[in-house]
A and B are shown apart, each in its own frame.
Chain A
Amino acid sequence: MIEGIEVFDVLVVSTAMFFIGIYGFMVRKNLITILMSVELILNAVNINFVIFNKYLYPDMLQGYIFSLFVTGIAAAEAAVAIAIILNVYRHMKGIDVEQVDTMKY
């Protein structure tokens, strides 16, 4: 527990981080930058899990263990997304979302 810091103060940070990620997801055109925005969003969710576990239920470990799971899923998602991006780059010679508008092989 941090002296003088309430749950709300941490939630302000994580919510701001979440919506910055949303903004990047909507504005960016390059697939890799979109992936980075998704990582920001997942990280904000992780902070939420951790702070709820620490401040509200310190005798249990739900938030702790689920943030471990979220981290694992983020890693799997990044690996698959980057494989798809590399494949798209090979076929379309670019990874802008506006370029990638066909499912044709």
Chain B
Amino acid sequence: MERFIFYFIAAIILVFSVLTVSSRRILRAAVYLLFVLLATAGFYFLLNYNFLAAVQLTVYSGGIVVLIVFAILLTAHLDHRLPKPNRLKAGFSGLLAVTGLVLTLFAISRFEFVRSPLVTEGPYNIEEIGTRLLSYGDYGYVLPFEVISVLLLAAMVAAIIVAKKSIKND
């Protein structure tokens, strides 16, 4: 049963990924991207990674897609269609992407993945994740946590400064 759910989710991800990069209406492309991100959240739920799925739903499909939709509405007319890509360029890009895909999958298929004998079903509890994020000891992640907090602050300030209308220009 879970297997078929996985195939279903994989089909959704692949079809809507292709539609995201090929749709000529930009708002529809954003909605297809939303479907891809939702399907990814469904995949995390299937793996019992509930907290990660919740983060995916809120940050990606809640935050980023809404931000992208706002940017689209501010910069494009809704009935505007993107021009068709140059056939030669699209062909070469497609060829390059397919070549890279085949090469990578070939390399991966040659690699022997050693499955861990441990089986941990059920969700990790959030308490353990929070403790790991803030611990100094082994397998503690306080340094990347602090670095990313500074990064988020810098990104927030930068976004405000860049998007602000300059007074001189007004």
Contacts and interface: CB of A to CB of B under 8 A. Distances in A.
Nearest to B98: A19
Interface string B1-16: 0110010001001100
A57 to B, nearest CB: 6
Contacts of A47: 40, 43
Contact of B116 (A29, A56, A68, A80): A56
Interface in A71-99: 71-80, 82-87, 89-90, 95
For chain A, give the interface size range. Answer: 35 or more
Given A20-B18, A58-B120, A33 B26 contact: yes
B52 interface: yes
A103 interface: no
A100 interface: no
B82 interface: yes
For chain B, give the interface size range. Answer: 35 or more
Query: Interface majority SS on A: helix, strand, loop or mixed?
Result: helix
A71 B141 CA distance: 16
Interface centre among A3, A57, A76, A84 (most CB of B within 10 A): A76
Contacts of B90: 27
Contact of B67 (A4, A24, A79): A79
A59 B34 CA distance: 32
Contacts of B115: 7, 55-56
Contacts of A68: 52, 55, 129
Interface string A1-31: 1111111110111011101111110111110
B78 interface: no
16 contacts: A1-B47, A1-B121, A23-B93, A26-B89, A26-B93, A30-B26, A32-B26, A39-B64, A40-B20, A61-B132, A69-B144, A71-B56, A74-B59, A76-B156, A82-B68, A89-B74
